[in-house]
């Protein structure tokens, strides 16, 4: 068969780096300790030890690793804190698992003291098949156990998994890995048992070779799910890490209304560019320092006038940020006609978002007001009062600003500071209520 790994080649090849040390393996191979998860992960785990947990839709400060979800007296499981992607186990490429397992299998010798050659060969063969089966199955078991159940993830991270990998893909790949493990165990046991029952040296050798070939072929053909899992872990680990403990100002609005320009002007220092895997354009993440306290400020992908079913992943990311992270909103309106979304469409989007996130602390800003002074918005006679008023000055109480001419920026900064201080107070009182 093309591409089949050749056992003889392996035997003859000089021994290279071993991926699994026998001393690392648990006595019962099916009770897996994830000893291969690198020590850097445990460090990351420590630095991410305190976080918020979402219980009954509110954010609860925690210093532990997760809270029990209960319905009545019955615990359902653990809810993960934000930061689960940084704690994902390291996945070995499927070929590395196979090579490593084959090497370990080759080192298995027969139980001492068996003088009958046929008995010795069948004893060794059965042990070798058993070892190969376990060495292939143990890492898979570890992945199944150490990749978090999506249902217990922080809702923000759950949304990111769906947006990035597509709905159901994460569970599907984990399911395939577990199914492969079960098939390997069953095939390995069957052939180890056949080998152990062999009546002659020759039969034992045949049984052994047949079992090895089948296990190897199965792992080679179906091991792609392990590589898919490796890619999933890589993608998720690279995702921007949000800090839900830090009050965050989130700039929301239609595309090109001036959100990123405002993040730059509000941030102390240079904002970082965060890339979610499904964004082609980076999202800016900056910090604001007020009285030695740091706050986050970030823009979100622009929202268009359309229903939720038609929204793309970028828009869904905006909604996930607003739904699942404790954010205060700075909503940006561009009435200059420059951004590509008409003011009347912006009003429709705004009203929907405002209604949906009515409990968020909120500040409205009309951007690019330098352009409004030179070319004021044209009003159409038949438009209703609300639209006319919106086109003229935005929602009631909105601050008019311009990044270009710096109009309104001092007032904006003062109002943003107040908003973030209120957001911080709100978070602390929510935490106190819960503790
Ligand atoms: N005239 C003017 N243009 C602006 C102002 N703020 C932003 N822009 C321009 O508007 C365009 C979109 O801005 P950007 O910040 O990328 O918008 P975003 O897509 O909402 O993040 C860019 O070409 C900016 O230079 C402003 O105050 N005045
Ligand atoms: Mg932007």
- Tell me, using a 6 A CB cutoff, whether residue 323 lines ligand 1: no
Instruction: Clarify whether residues 102 and 214 are in a common domain.
Output: yes
Backbone phi, psi, residue 249, to 5°: -95, 125
- The pLDDT value recorded for residue 375 is 60
Does the pLDDT at position 20 exceed 60? no
User: What atom in ligand 1 is closest to the CA of residue 403?
Assistant: 27
322 CA distance to ligand 1 middle (Å)? 22
Closest residue by CA, ligand 1 atom 7: 258
Given a cut of 90, whether residue 380 has pLDDT beyond it is no
**pLDDT of 51 strictly over 80:** no
pLDDT tens digits, one per residue of 89-121: 999 999 999 999 999 999 999 999 999 999 999
At residue 63 the predicted structure's pLDDT band, cuts being 50, 70 and 90, is: very low
CA 245 to ligand 1 center in whole angstroms:
30
CATH code, 363: 3.40.50.300
Cα of 96 from ligand 2 centre, angstroms: 42
* Structure confidence at residue 28 (pLDDT): 35
Task: Give the global pTM.
Answer: 0.77
- Which pLDDT score is estimated for 45? 32
Instruction: Report yes or no on 402 lying in a domain.
Output: yes
Predicted pLDDT of residue 374? 64
Q: Is the CB of 329 under 6 A from ligand 1?
A: no
CATH number of the domain bearing residue 175: 1.20.120.1190
Pocket test for ligand 1, best of 255, 261, 401 (most atoms within 8 A of CB): 261
Q: What is the pLDDT of residues 115-139, one digit of tens each?
A: 999 999 999 999 999 999 999 999 9
Residues 172, 119 within the same domain: yes
For helices 117-146 and 94-106, what crossing angle results, to 10°?
150
> Residue 21: what pLDDT?
32
CA of 256 to the centre of ligand 1 (A): 6
Please give the residue range of the domain that contains residue 27.
Answer: 7-237
| Same domain flag for 232 and 259 | no
Average pLDDT score over the chain: 82
132 and 170 both lie in a single domain: yes
Ligand 1 pocket, residue 367 CB under 6 Å: yes
Q: Please indicate whether residue 296, judged by its CB atom, sits closer than 6 Å to ligand 1.
A: no
Give burial (CB, 10 Å; 0-12/13-18/19+) of 391: buried
pLDDT tens for residues 238-288?
998 888 778 999 999 999 999 999 999 999 889 999 889 888 788 999 999
Please tell me the predicted confidence (pLDDT) of residue 214. 98
Question: Is ligand 1 within 6 A of the CB of residue 251?
Answer: no
User: pLDDT for 292-343, tens place per residue?
Assistant: 888 999 999 999 999 999 999 999 999 999 999 989 999 999 999 899 999 9
Ligand 1 in contact with 370 (CB < 6 A)? yes
Same domain, 168 and 56: yes
Q: Which atom of ligand 1 is nearest to the CA of 332?
A: 20
Domain finish residue from 174, 204, 237: 237
CA of 258 to the centre of ligand 1 (A): 4
- pLDDT band for 149, please (50, 70, 90 cuts): very high
Instruction: Find the 361 Cα to ligand 2 centroid distance in Å.
Output: 21
């Amino acid at each position: 068969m093309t591409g089949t790994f050749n056992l003889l080649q392996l035997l003859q090849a000089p021994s290279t780096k071993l991926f699994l040390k026998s001393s690392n393996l648990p006595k019962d191979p099916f009770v897996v300790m994830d000893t291969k998860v690198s020590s850097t992960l445990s460090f990351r785990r420590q630095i991410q030890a305190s976080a918020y947990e979402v219980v009954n839709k509110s954010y609860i400060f925690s210093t532990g690793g997760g809270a029990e979800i209960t319905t009545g007296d019955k615990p359902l499981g653990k809810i993960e804190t934000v930061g689960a992607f940084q704690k994902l186990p390291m996945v070995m490429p499927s070929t590395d698992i196979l090579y490593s397992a084959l090497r370990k299998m080759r080192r298995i010798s027969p139980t001492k003291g068996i003088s009958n050659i046929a008995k010795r060969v069948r004893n060794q063969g059965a042990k070798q098949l058993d070892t190969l089966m376990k060495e292939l199955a143990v890492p898979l078991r570890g992945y199944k156990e150490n990749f978090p159940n999506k249902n217990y993830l922080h809702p923000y991270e759950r949304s990111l998994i769906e947006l990035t990998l597509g709905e159901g893909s994460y569970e599907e790949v984990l399911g395939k890995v577990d199914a492969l493990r079960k098939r390997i165990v069953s095939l390995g046991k069957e052939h180890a048992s056949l080998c152990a029952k062999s009546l002659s040296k020759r039969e034992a050798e045949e049984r052994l070779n047949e079992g090895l070939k089948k296990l190897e072929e199965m792992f080679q053909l179906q091991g792609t799910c392990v590589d898919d899992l490796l890619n999933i872990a890589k993608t998720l680990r690279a995702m921007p890490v949000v800090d839900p403990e830090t009050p965050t100002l989130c700039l929301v609005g239609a595309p090109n209304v001036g959100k990123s320009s405002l993040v730059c002007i509000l941030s102390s220092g240079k904002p970082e560019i965060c890339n979610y895997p499904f964004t082609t354009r980076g999202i800016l993440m900056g910090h604001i320092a007020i009285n030695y306290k740091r706050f986050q400020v970030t823009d979100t992908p622009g929202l268009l006038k359309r229903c939720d079913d038609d929204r793309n992943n970028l828009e869904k990311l905006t909604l996930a940020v607003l739904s699942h992270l404790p954010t205060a909103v700075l909503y940006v309106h561009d009435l200059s006609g420059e951004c590509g979304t008409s003011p009347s469409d912006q009003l429709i989007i705004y009203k929907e978002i405002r209604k949906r996130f009515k409990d968020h602390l909120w500040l409205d800003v009309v951007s690019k007001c330098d352009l409004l002074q030179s070319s004021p918005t044209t009003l159409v006679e038949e438009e209703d009062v609300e639209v006319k008023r919106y086109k003229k000055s935005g929602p009631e109480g909105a601050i008019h600003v311009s990044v270009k001419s710096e109009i309104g920026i001092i007032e904006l900064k003062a109002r943003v500071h107040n908003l973030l201080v209120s957001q911080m107070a709100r978070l602390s009182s929510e935490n106190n209520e819960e503790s």
